[in-house]
Chains A and B, each alone.
Chain A
Amino acid sequence: MAVLSESIRERIKALYSKYPTRQAITLPALHMVQDEMRYVPLEAVKEIAELLELHPAEVHDTLSFYGFFKDEAHKLGKHRVWVCRSISCVLRGGEELLAHLCEKYHVHPGQQTADGKMTLEFAECLGACEGAPCILVDDNCEMNMTPESAEALVDKL
Chain B
Amino acid sequence: MSRPEPVLLARINTPDSASLETYRRDGGYEALRKALSMAPEEVINEVKDSGLRGRGGAGFPTGLKWTFLPKGHPGPIYLAINADESEPGTFNNRILMEQDPHQIIEGIAISCYAIKSNCSYLYLRYEYGKSYRALEKAIQECYAAGILGDNVLGTGFKLDVVLHRGAAAYICGEETGLIESLEGKRAWPRIKPPFPAIEGLFRKPTIVNNIETMACVKQILQRGAAWFKSVGVPPDPNNPRDAGSFGPKLYCLSGHVNKPGCYEVPLGITARELIEEYGGGVPNGRQIKAVVPGGISMGFLSASELDTPLDFNGPGKVGCLGLGTAAVVVIDDSASMVDVLYNCCRFFSHESCGQCTPCREGTAWMTKIMYRIRSGQGELRDLDLLMEVASSIGIIPGTTICGLSDGAAWPVKNAIKKFRGEFEDYIKAGKSSIKPAELVAAH
Contact = CB atoms under 8 A, between A and B. Distances in A.
Interface of A: 18-21, 23-28, 30-31, 52, 58, 61-62, 64-69, 82, 85-88, 90-92, 95-96, 98-100, 102-103, 108-110, 122-132, 136, 138-141
Given A122-B443, A129-B252, A21 B202 contact: yes
B259 to A, nearest CB: 9
Given A27-B164, A66-B168, A125 B87 contact: yes
Given A65-B186, A88-B89, A129-B91, A124 B255 contact: no
B317 interface: no
B167 interface: yes
29 contacts: A21-B183, A21-B202, A24-B183, A24-B184, A26-B185, A27-B165, A27-B184, A31-B165, A66-B169, A68-B126, A82-B127, A87-B344, A88-B329, A90-B339, A90-B343, A91-B255, A91-B329, A91-B335, A96-B435, A102-B441, A108-B443, A109-B443, A125-B89, A129-B89, A129-B90, A129-B254, A129-B260, A130-B253, A130-B261
A133 B89 CA distance: 12
A96 B260 contact: no
Interface string B163-186: 011111110000000000111111
A129 B129 contact: no
A136 B168 CA distance: 12
In this complex, the interface size class of chain B, counting residues with CB under 8 Å from chain A, is 35 or more
Given A92-B256, A127-B125, A132-B254, 8 more contacts: A18-B160, A20-B202, A98-B437, A99-B440, A127-B90, A129-B260, A132-B255, A140-B130
The list of the 6 closest CB pairs from A to B, nearest first, reads A139-B129, A26-B184, A65-B186, A99-B437, A129-B254, A23-B184
B280 interface: no
Contacts of A69: 167
Contacts of A25: 184
Contacts of A95: 435, 437-438, 441
A26 B87 CA distance: 25
B127 A126 contact: yes
B185 A61 contact: yes
A86 B443 contact: no
B170 A127 contact: no
A23 B187 CA distance: 14
A133 B349 CA distance: 22
Contacts of B420: none
Contacts of B165: 27-28, 31
B76 interface: yes
B149 to A, nearest CB: 13
